[in-house]
Structure 1
Amino acid sequence: MEEKKYMNPYLAGFLLGLLLLATIFITGRGLGASGAVKSGVISIVNFIAPTHTGNTHYYQ
C-alpha cells in the first residue's frame, strides 16, 4: 500500500486562516454553515413581515 501524502498541517492552517480573513473582508462574515441558514431565514422573514425584521435586533 502506498502511503497517502497530506499537506503540512501548519501550512493548511495558515491557508485556511487567509481564506477566513478574505471571506470576512469581502462579505463581512466568517465561514460557517449556520450563517447561511440565518441569512435564508432573515430573507424569508423579511419578505413576509418586513416591519418585524426592521424592529428586531436579531435580524439586523
Structure 2
Amino acid sequence: MFRFVVKRIGQLFLVLFAVSIIVFVFTSVMGKVLSSMFRTLIFDSAGPYRAMFGF
C-alpha cells in the first residue's frame, strides 16, 4: 500500500514537472515571438510617421 502511494506521488510529480517545463518553454518562445512581432508592427507602423515628423 505504502509503495503504491509513493509510486502515485512520484508519477504526479513527474507529470507536474513535465507540464511546468512545457509551459515554461512555450511561454518563453511565445513571448519572444510575440515581442518580435509587436516590435516589427510598431516600427513598421511608425515608419511613415517617423519619415513625416523626422524622429
- TM-score by length of structure 1 reads 0.34
Larger relative helix fraction: 2
Greater C-alpha radius of gyration: 2
- TM-score by length of structure 2 reads 0.37
Relative contact order (C-alpha < 8 Å, sep 6+): which is higher? 1
